[in-house]
Structure 1
Amino acid sequence: MLRIITDSASDLPKEYITAHQLHVIPTPVVIDETDYFDGKTIQTKDFYNILDDTKRDIRTYHINPAMFEEAFLPYAQAGDSVIYICFSTGIAGTFNAANIAKANVLEQYPDFDLTIIDSKSASIGFGLLVSKLVTMLENGAPKETIIEAADYFISHIHHVFTVHTLAYLIKGGRLSKFKGTIAETLDMKPILIVDKDGSLQVLKTVRGRKKSLKALIDYAKSNGYELSSQTVAFCHGEDENALQFLLALADEELKPKDKLISTVGCAIGAHTGRGIVGVCFLDASEEKYKEFLS
């Protein structure tokens, strides 16, 4: 049997995961020297409440080879064929760890058919990719077509985000303390994108929260392909007010056919803080795979 599995950096909603019986490998997060697992032993609301306390020591690390072996072995033992779609190599070392685990499992089960795909994506952009491939699988697409479609969607998915505070980007070294402190004083908000290599980049900065949210919609309008005919994905880091403001703008200006909405989990949230908000979409047509996406 062909299976698709992914990891929790995809930030897919729990309702979606349950409805599609999707295996999601949890990302580890360390809080005060204790390991937790994203979506399994810690939930997003609890995580952000802890993250708000600046005295707590919080960090993440990528899923390691031993964790991947534990996840892969049941499929190898069952004789299943698996596509694992992983968190971007431009942000974490997940892809390399998964391949180490694959090599170890193949020593025991040399016929195990496992394809590991670098999503070059993060959060709900990653989730949007996974959801399209799951739909294709459920509609009978063969493995080769799903892998081909993955490459196509990866090259055409856009991610654009903003954050409420720069403190976590400064703490993580993505922004210098000097520049970050000045920007915070001036209420400057970065507009962030995930580039084609899957790395996080600052596109520009704008002044004020509402302008930053409007900038996300403007970016989508400028770069999206017929947004009224596609599913547009939205995510937030436990900031319902910002999400609703963004959705209202999207309904007015983008008019998406459907929406995929999620909360940013530990893998990304630990490095951005509460208040990250993002929009993800395609810049090209899905017509080529319409047979398996309807």
Structure 2
Amino acid sequence: MSIHIVADSGCDLPYSFLQERHIYLLPLIVHLSGRDYEDAVTIDPKQVYEAMRNGEVAKTSQTSPQKIKEVFSELAKDGRPALYIAFSSELSGTYQTAMMMRKEVLEQYPDFQLTIIDSKCASLGLGLVVMKASELAQKGMPYEQLCETIAAYCSRMEHIFTVDNLEFLARGGRISKASAVVGGLLNIKPLLHVENGKLIPLEKIRGRKKVLKRMLELMEERGNDLQKQLIGISHGDDEETALELKRQIEAKFGCTRFYISQIGAAIGSHSGPGTLALFFLNEYIEA
């Protein structure tokens, strides 16, 4: 591959997949039980979910500047151009830090071609973009065209997700504890999406079945050429519900290409077990 692809662990792609595709990883940091872990590398998401179910609180931080500079310097020495597709700048400071480290590395290696895209995406929404970048780079797409195409993919990626238990959002300060208690009693499942890189609440729905039905309705309203697309589904240790959503999408839209993955330890630390997320393009791009 003549172009290096770089991603951070906010893409929620398995480490084995990234290694297989020769994608460079910048891991976010997960703080749990008094220890620091590298997301996707030294901690399994199930470990985080089990700890959260037992009342522990997991915290996260961005990739260290030193790690980012180390990876960029390694790529610069190799001499090939690189593209880093970053986790939304509205959800992490990694993009801003990467831009600073890029400036430092270019002072030492002024001929190094390094483009950094603020994806405004998260979880497997970002993961699908990273997968497409790797695919196009493998096919030999020219560097400038690759960067433009991937930026277009990012801008068209839809994120629709729900959390199973409002308590986890309350622990992280996303909602009040009172709202979590009332929501739990009423079996309320919030539906959210990503808009300009930010998490935005859409609706509050009672019951899991109604949530799945509404996710499909939003997919129909927002999607374009869904049968041609690779549909992403990620989950917080709830593969059964993810597969049920897949079956419903197959039946309703005739989609045949899916990528299903578990939400990683860093993002899962905030969303909690039972989270379910759906990703697709609102405008299909032939590339």
Q: Tell me the TM-score normalized by structure 1.
A: 0.93
Task: State yes or no: 1:30 paired with 2:31.
Answer: yes
- Counterpart of 2:212, as a letter, is L
The 10-residue stretch of structure 1 (198-207 or 248-257) with the greater mean CA deviation from structure 2: 248-257
| Counterpart contact for 1:216–1:278, Cα < 8 Å | no
Shift in Å at residue 15 of structure 1? 4.8
Would the alpha carbon gap of residues 251 and 15 (structure 1) be closer, same or farther in structure 2, given more than 3 Å must change? farther
Q: 2:245 aligns to what? A: 246
Distance 1:95 1:18 in 2: 22
Distance 1:254 1:67 in 2: 43
Distance 2:53 2:38 in 1: 18
Distance 2:22 2:209 in 1: 37
Distance 1:273 1:61 in 2: 17
Partner SS for 2:184: helix
| Counterpart contact for 2:236–2:262, Cα < 8 Å | yes
Q: Tell me the TM-score normalized by structure 2.
A: 0.95
Could you list the runs of 5+ residues in structure 2 that have no partner in the other structure? Answer: none
Q: 2:278 aligns to what? A: 279
| Counterpart contact for 2:157–2:280, Cα < 8 Å | yes
Q: 2:159 aligns to what? A: 159
Partner SS for 1:244: helix
| Counterpart contact for 1:237–1:276, Cα < 8 Å | yes
Q: 2:84 aligns to what? A: 84
- Counterpart of 1:274, as a letter, is P
Partner SS for 2:254: coil
| Counterpart contact for 1:214–1:246, Cα < 8 Å | no
| Counterpart contact for 2:232–2:279, Cα < 8 Å | yes
1:53-64 matched pairs, under 5 angstroms: 53-54=54-55, 56-64=56-64
Give the aligned CA root-mean-square deviation in angstroms.
Answer: 1.4
Shift in Å at residue 21 of structure 1? 2.0
Distance 1:105 1:33 in 2: 33
| Counterpart contact for 2:234–2:263, Cα < 8 Å | yes
| Counterpart contact for 1:27–1:266, Cα < 8 Å | no
Shift in Å at residue 47 of structure 1? 2.4
